[in-house]
Amino acid sequence: MRSLLARTFLLLCVGWLLFGTRGIGFAQLSELQRNRFATTKAEAEKGDPEQQFQLGNIYSNGLLGAARNNAEAFAWYRKAAEQGHSDAQYSLGVC
């Protein structure tokens, strides 16, 4: 259930950023993406396992302006998995 909820939330956020921002220019959209990425990374670096998992997804899928980087995704999934995050544990298995 948590996995489905996390993925749904991520897809909704990305969809909103890409399609639900009528009236926001490309530069502003890029700024929103950079801010979201920076916020997620800052929280992940503080040790939040959900944000570590989300950062792994960002790197794994090349979201929010980040380049795809499987090594970086694996590292963040591992940090979250070590704290008992079940979705991150699964992602490590398929990464």
Strand, helix or coil for residue 47: coil
Mean pLDDT calculated for residue range 69-80: 96
pTM: 0.70
Q: What is the pLDDT of residue 6?
A: 65
Model confidence at 88: pLDDT above 80: yes
Q: Report which residue type is found at 35.
A: N
Tell me, rounded to whole angstroms, the distance of Cα 60 from its chain centroid. Answer: 9
Contacts 24+ apart (CB under 8 A), 81-84: 83/47, 83/49, 83/52, 84/49
What span, in angstroms and rounded, lies between the C-alpha atoms of 43 and 90?
21
